[in-house]
Amino acid sequence: MPKLGAEPIRRAALVKATIEMVGDGGSLDVTVAQIARRAGMSSALAHHYFGSKEQIFLAAMRAILSIYAAEVRGALVVAEGHAGRLRAIVHASFAPGSFRREAIGAWLNFYVLAQTAPEARRLLAVYQRRLHSNLMHDLKPIVGARAGGVARGLGALIDGVYIRAALQPGATDRRAAAALVLAYLDRELEGA
Amino acid sequence: MPKLGAEPIRRAALVKATIEMVGDGGSLDVTVAQIARRAGMSSALAHHYFGSKEQIFLAAMRAILSIYAAEVRGALVVAEGHAGRLRAIVHASFAPGSFRREAIGAWLNFYVLAQTAPEARRLLAVYQRRLHSNLMHDLKPIVGARAGGVARGLGALIDGVYIRAALQPGATDRRAAAALVLAYLDRELEGA
DNA sequence: GTTTTTGTTGATTGACGAGTCAATAAACTT
DNA sequence: AAGTTTATTGACTCGTCAATCAACAAAAAC
């Protein structure tokens, strides 16, 4: 059966399966065997490619974060003006690629992982810093000294909407979620 | 050693230890033995009083929610006017009783628990509904039709601030957190 | 065509942890 | 004083799961 060049395919399959299982199951208590089974291989193979369960989780987290980062980059290139760029960042947070049931569920669980696994914490910190600096870049010219507070508010609000979405499976409307955050943004930009 | 009437003391000690361990450790992966040890008893006794680990967690969650509920009630009796009551609700969310490191950490983890344990989900739903209806009660007279959106925004923002606080141990200022949410509220109430 | 590299798994190990149980002891009841 | 209820634990069971290993298979390299 050994088709050569299997490694990247296997890794990707495991990452995908991990996100699905963690997101759907709503818990980090998934066994390597379950993940491997879903990805169509033995648990031994999963260990072979990733070395440990933690590495599998971290890879899944990296995947989610990089999808999100790509979404933001993509949205920013076509956006115009400071306000437009800020809206683009918000929109990216609720783009179909990131705002799916499993991804949201996985996200919440990775938050928890970040409390114990230093590497997960680091990844999350990178994401948060990048989001913050992206926001600041376009907020400062518009709202000046208030930029810091607004950026923190936006970040917290996005996370809050996410966490709530994770708990209302199905009842979560992407557009409504985005609209809520955009309303906050517009209000803060009023008269600027 | 058997002092009679130990049950309530033991239960309380276990609940306290659970919140501390889950909050500090940042994970639901604490063993009953660890919790019991911290509470100064054997794991067998913990099982004797609670029956299962899940019941211990649920009791801890109930304790956190009831502290919060009491905080809100207390704040509401002295508040005056719709806007004052809304501010009181926000303040209660960041009162020293609830906004402590372990409590915040535990909170985040109970969110995760709610994804898998139906009873935990129910408790959380009760809290969210109560918060929402409290907010609506005083928002409707001021902002009318916009009340629903504002209430959802406030709820999400509070949760978001909490989740971020859970990840920045130490770096979390209670007042700053409250101020952020209050700023949002004030902005929504502007001109009303 | 043999050796090496890559892919793959079943079986096993070793640890850990939830929940049970039997036994012990102090206090309360009668 | 005998019996009952409450408190308490050490030792044990039983299951689960991450990680390892030995072995097998196919492709590549030599």
pLDDT digits (tens, 9 = 90+) for A31-53: 999 999 999 999 999 999 999 99
Query: In the structure, what pLDDT confidence band is assigned to residue B2 with cuts at 50, 70 and 90?
Result: low
Give chain A's residues under pLDDT 70.
1-3, 191-192
Averaged pLDDT for residues B61-68 = 96
pLDDT for A5 equals 79
Distance (Å) from CA B31 to C1' C16?
A: 10
pLDDT at A46: 98
Rg of chain A on CA atoms, in Å: 18
**CB–CB of B167 and A25 under 8 A?**
no
- Specify which residue's alpha carbon is closest to the C1' of nucleotide C20: B44
B117-153 pLDDT tens trace: 999 999 999 999 999 999 999 999 999 999 999 999 9
Kindly indicate the confidence band of residue B94, based on its pLDDT and cuts at 50, 70 and 90: very high
pLDDT surpassing 60 at residue B1: no
Model confidence at B6: pLDDT above 90: no
**Residues of chain A neighbouring B159 (CB-CB closer than 8 A):** 159-160, 163-164
Shortest CA gap A54–chain B (Å): 14
User: What's the CA gap between A36 and A49, in Å, rounded?
Assistant: 11
Q: CA A21 to CA A106: how far, in whole Å?
A: 8
pLDDT of residue B167: 85
Residue B128 CA to residue B107 CA, distance in Å, equals: 13
Asked if strand C comes closer than 7 Å to B32 Cβ, the answer is: yes
Best of B112, B164, B181, B189 to mutate (most A CBs within 10 Å, chain A) = B112
pTM of the full predicted structure?
0.92
Burial class (CB in 10 A: 0-12, 13-18, 19+), A70: middle
CA dihedral A42, B27, B157, A128 (to 10 degrees): -60
Mean pLDDT of the residues in chain B: 93
Q: Nearest residue on chain A to B182, judged by CA atoms?
A: A153
Q: Is the CB of B187 under 7 A from strand C?
A: no
pLDDT at residue A130, rounded to an integer: 94
Does A55 contact strand C, using a CB cutoff of 7 Å? Answer: no
The CA distance from B14 to the nearest CA of chain A, in Å, is: 22
Chain A residues touching B160 at Cβ < 8 A = 155-161, 163
H-assigned helices in chain B: 6-25, 32-38, 43-50, 53-78, 81-93, 101-116, 118-143, 147-167, 174-189
Among A21, A53, A115, A172, pick the best mutation site for testing chain B contact (most B Cβ within 10 A). A115
Of B108, B180, B188, the CB nearest to A111: B108
Return the amino acid letter for B138. D
